[in-house]
Every structure is written in structure tokens, then in C-alpha cells.
Amino acid sequence: MSVFTGSCVALVTPFTDEGVNFESLANLIEFQIREGTDAILVCGTTGEPSTMTRDEKYSVIGFTVEKVAKRVPVIAGTGGYNTATVIEDSKEAERLGADALLIVTPYYNKTTQKGLIQHYAAIADAVHIPIIIYNVPGRTGLNVAPSTLKELSKIDNIVGIKEASGNIAQVTEMARLCGDKIDIYSGDDNIVVPILALGGKGVISVVANIAPRDTHEMVVKFLNGDIEGSRKLQFKLNPLIEALFLEVNPIPVKTALNLMGMNAGKLRMPLTDMSEQNLEILKKRMLEYGLKIQQ
């Protein structure tokens, strides 16, 4: 059973100087559901969990579950480099009502492929809800090998992978080895259609924060057989996506939401405001796409 099919937004976390802005978070959630987003991820990379306290993360997960009220699945990001801490956070996310977990590979201390298998197996044994592995070697310095994913696919509640290696050959091998035992989701907004062509189920998306309808439609069109329509949306989205990665995520997408009047709030250090040069490029791409800038 898939956690979701389509587009899952990797939602930003709106902050004030005092903490999380739950009023803005509620508005962002409603905007996403209204625009057709198929699932909502909180406390993923785009949500800046590395700068959040444990209480803030738990509060955001619990609030989102309550606000969404089962209209779409809620996925909680609970990954980290300490297996015991990941287990504790994952159990709490399950208790709070999350429908699934997104768990990034250990970073900084990293591990071996054998260690990856043991890490995920221990987490899966501690919870009952589905787990989606997050492979993003550009951030973690650690790659999930296709053969490792095949081993992990034998664990009942490990059901998917967010694949953000950017390596289509690797995704192809994962699909070949794992078949229908693992749902593959694109973790790179600019190659959603190629991954769908390999049997992918959708995308866990940054651009969906500001263009949720088109991101959803890109996947739906492909899965319904409108390959040309899906490809056109990928081509339409890609210049905007490029602008969202001029600086490290989520700096540009949070800036874009604020430009749209969505009150995404401040970035937390060590993330800082965009350079003027990149900000002008972002504004230009947003206007070319058809997004309205209010400030």
C-alpha cells in the first residue's frame, strides 16, 4: 500500500523571533490542500528541522496532523545520525498521529551499507507506520546503494524511497531490483518525469510550496497516460525550479513564499537572506512563471 501517489510538498516551517508561527502554518497547509497536493511532509529538510528544538518539531507534527484531519497523508521527517534518537522521535511522531515517516540516511558520522541496513531495520522494528527512506548524498555524504535498498525492501514497513541522488542510472537499477516492493519518489523536482517513466509514484517536492497545482498535475497527467502534458509541465516548471536552488534550500523557496505574501517568516541561522543578484533572478523567474509578487 503506497503512502501516497502524486505530489507531496516538503513544507517550509514559518518562524517568528518567538518560535513557530502556527497561524501561518495553518494557512500554508490549507493552501496546499486547496491546490491539490496529495500529501504533506513536515520537518523535512525544507522545514529547517536542524534548527528546531525537539519540542518545536513535535508541536509542528502534532499541529499538522490535527489541522490536516486525514484529508491527505501527513509524513513526518524524523531522520538523524543517532539511531536511538531517531527511534525516539519516530515513536513520538507515530504517537502524534503521523501517517508515515521520512527518514534521511545518517549524515556526518555516516555509516557503511551494512550499517544502513541495521539502522533502518532497528527503526522499522520500533514503529508500526510506513517508512520512506531519504537518499540525498549531496547533503549527507552517504549514498544508498541499489543492493542495499533491495535488502531494506524485505522489511514490511519500509515502503518507499525519496531518491535525490540525481543519478538516473541508479534509480533505474533500484527499480529493476526492487520492483513493486518499494515506491520510488523523486527527490529532485527537475527530473520528476524521468523517474515516473521508471515506475516512480510521484515527487516529494520543494517547488510545490509555490506551485502546488502544477506539481500535482505533472504527476497525475503522466500516470493517466498524458505523457506530453506531463512533459510540458516539467519543462514549464524547470526554470522556476532552477531559481529555487540558486542558493541552498530552503532559502529561495521561503523567500518566494514571502514575496507571494504567504508569510513564511524568517530563515534561521546559519541560513541567511538571498544575495541581491540571486533575488532578482528569483523574482524574474516567478513573474515569468505567472506567480504574483506582492512585495
Q: Which residues are catalytic?
A: 134, 162
Supply 130's cell numbers. 510506513
β 100-104/158-163 pair status = unpaired
Those residues whose C-beta lies under 8 Å from the C-beta of residue 133, and which sit 6 or more positions away, are: 103, 105, 120, 144, 149, 152, 158, 160, 161, 162
Q: What is the largest CA-CA distance in the chain?
A: 51
User: Cα–Cα–Cα angle for 206, 207, 211, nearest 5°?
Assistant: 140
The strand pairing partners of 8, in sequence order, are 39, 204
Q: Is 100 exposed, middle or buried (0-12, 13-18, 19+ CB in 10 A)?
A: buried
